[in-house]
Chain A
Amino acid sequence: MNPFKRSPFVIISTVLVYIFLYAPIVVLVLYSFNSSRVNITFEGFIPTFSERVVMDGSTVVSSPCGPFHWFCDLSKNREVMSAAKNTLTIAFIATIVSTIIGTMAAIALQRYDFRLKSFSQLSLYVPIVIPEIVMGIGILTLISQVFGWVNTTFALSGDARLSMGLFTVTISHIAFMVPFVTLVVQARLQGFDKSFEEAAMDLGANEWTTFRRVTFPMILPGVLSGALLAFTLSLDDFVITFFTNGPGSTTLPIYVYGLLRRIITPQVNALSTVWILIVFTVVLLLQIVQSREQSKS
């Protein structure tokens, strides 16, 4: 019996940690049902369902959506909807591309010996450890230099000019997500016994069939974990997106930041609540994948 298990110190510190971590989230969610239009004070839930939005001073008295007034409000907000669409589009494309590249890199690092191998391995950690803002500025500088050069060299004008937008955000997300995917897949490959692949080839499978039928299914849980991690990183990335976005490529974090500088209404809370739900779902999926993987081995 572990003597620490029941010690009051452990119980109290555990409770404190949970309060510290989750209290802000609880408050945030609670305020998204706030009847006050000002986000500072909580004046109770918006009570009943009715046909019209009734405002009494600064308080919402009733709304057709009932307590979900701010969520309805949000869904009618075209800017939010477009930012959400951008965020998801970027996250999906960047996740797929970075998962493919990251997985291939992990396999190559595991399987082959080549010059600069340890350098390549080390360089994976650089984007992870350097401050994101440095990477953001770096990417911005690079892209604007390249775009500027292309625009002047080919004398592009008007719509043909290369400029910041969805494309630049997506490629910079791919750039910072690849190392995360590679490291996660590498961890999975660490214990991978190459005799599985040899057995497949021994039984008549060529390299490609061996990869498709044996290697890939066996590392799939690692690849999925990597992809989910990359997806969540992309969803809530602010710094790099801040430097690389342009007109029409505003993502949710950028939009919220913009809102905060103007007025704070419980719309922001409603948006955050939806967002938290999405991220929690992804994290939950990640957990399920990992625990299934563990119960297998």
Chain B
Amino acid sequence: MTSEFAVELRDVVKRFVTPEGNEIAAVDHVTMQIKNGEFFSMLGSSGCGKTTSLRMIAGFEWTTEGEVYIEGNPMGHTPPFQRKVNTVFQSYALFQHMTVFQNIAFGLEMEGAKEDEIKQRVGRALEMVQLTGMERRKPKQLSGGQQQRVAVARALVKTPDVLLLDEPLGALDLKLRKEMQLELKALQQQLGITFIYVTHDQEEALTMSDRIAVMSNGRVQQIGTPVEIYERPSNKFVADFIGESNFLDGQIKSLSKDEAQVFIPALNTELRGIPISQGLVKGEDVVVSIRPEKIRITEKNAKNDNFFKAKVTNTVYIGADTHVYTESQGVKIKVLEQNHISRLDTSSFYTVGQEVGLVLMPENTLVLKKV
């Protein structure tokens, strides 16, 4: 391996002309560095440019600006059949007129492999995806999950440096999807090759990835590990997109080296000791973000820092957790309590209209730039 990065996108732009004649930037100045052996996900809602980014790596599209590097080599207009990456398509794109064996053997034939070698390698690939014995079937005779495995085997049999997967589990039902998530992850760890995985399902991305690029409107919002993305979202979009967050508008009252006091006008409260990221100045308007599970419900008259009173407006019991919806001076705040104790005893529920106190743990509170 010649480069530290398996794949690198440097300031890549892709513009399309829509049928109406407008020019849109499907991918807008994207820079990503994907390390060797990494499970890297692109996460974002539909239309944010994930597929287009992946297709530029595969070679199905060329960049309008910027450059894609594979193993340190600029790709330019290199055609797909000369790139050492393989793709698992969302629609699987299995060749309907060929058997499972012929589908998987296709890529090896293109390499000019000998018949014996092809047989052996196809056999091993089928074993890997647990489809031994299905060689003679046509794709139409397989279930969705089996077709998906054939698509994975067909790409992996080529022993690519990088495997590209475009929402490969999108067509499967929930249970099968969860199983396949774990299987794909195990396969990736076992083979040690780089996976670039496109999904719009945040849970899937959090479950499988070493690192995630959160995308929106053709731009990268944040790249980080699942923990970083969840616990330290770099902006309001990411905080909102990944999991749930309560947002409070505020203003920085004072700043120390690594902490800030933020005044929340709507609650007429000052939040103290909130850890800050770089680039904030005193007096700046900011957004305070806090996850529902990181708020504690206490007595309405407790004496605490970062405390304020609220009124319960609704509670929803959903097995493992209870969602408690509260309101404080017109600001809605959602709290998530784990059901450590049985709620069979109804007295442990909050009643609608009940006055409670809310405590925001400063270490779990984030100050974000207002965007």
Contacts and interface: CB of A to CB of B under 8 A. Distances in A.
A195 B89 contact: yes
A198 B106 contact: no
A204 B91 contact: no
A195 B140 contact: no
Contacts of B18: none
Interface in A188-204: 193, 195-196, 198-204
A217 B106 CA distance: 14
B291 interface: no
Interface stretch (A52-60, A75-83, A206-214): A206-214
B110 A203 contact: yes
Which interface class (under 10, 10 to 19, 20 to 34, 35 or more) fits B?
20 to 34
Given A209-B110, A296-B140, A201 B93 contact: no
Given A195-B89, A209-B110, A296-B140, A202 B80 contact: yes
B81 A202 contact: yes
Interface string B70-87: 000000000111000011
Given A203-B106, A203-B110, A204-B107, A198 B60 contact: yes
Contacts of A296: 96, 140
Contacts of B97: 217-218
B154 interface: yes
Interface residues of A, number: 18
Contacts of A203: 81, 86, 106-107, 110, 154-155, 158
Contacts of B58: 198, 202
B95 A214 contact: yes
A205 interface: yes
Most buried by A among B60, B94, B140, B158: B60
B81 A195 contact: no
Contacts of A193: 91, 93
A212 to B, nearest CB: 12
B258 interface: no
Given A198-B89, A199-B87, A199-B89, A204 B81 contact: yes
A203 B125 CA distance: 15
B95 A206 contact: no
Interface string A277-297: 000000000000000000010
A196 B79 CA distance: 16
Given A198-B80, A218-B96, A218-B97, A205 B110 contact: yes
Most buried by A among B58, B81, B89, B107: B81
Contact of B93 (A198, A209, A213, A217): A198
Nearest to B91: A195
Contacts of A196: 93, 95
Contacts of A195: 89, 91, 93
Contact of B110 (A198, A204, A217, A218): A204
B329 to A, nearest CB: 54
A205 B81 contact: yes
A177 B259 CA distance: 80
Interface of B: 58-60, 79-81, 86-87, 89, 91, 93-97, 106-107, 110-111, 140, 154-155, 158
Given A205-B81, A217-B97, A218-B96, 15 more contacts: A193-B91, A193-B93, A195-B93, A199-B89, A199-B95, A201-B59, A201-B79, A201-B81, A202-B80, A202-B81, A202-B86, A203-B158, A204-B107, A204-B158, A206-B81
23 contacts: A193-B91, A195-B93, A196-B93, A196-B95, A198-B60, A198-B80, A198-B87, A199-B87, A199-B93, A199-B94, A201-B60, A201-B79, A202-B80, A202-B81, A202-B86, A203-B81, A203-B155, A203-B158, A204-B107, A204-B110, A204-B158, A205-B110, A218-B96
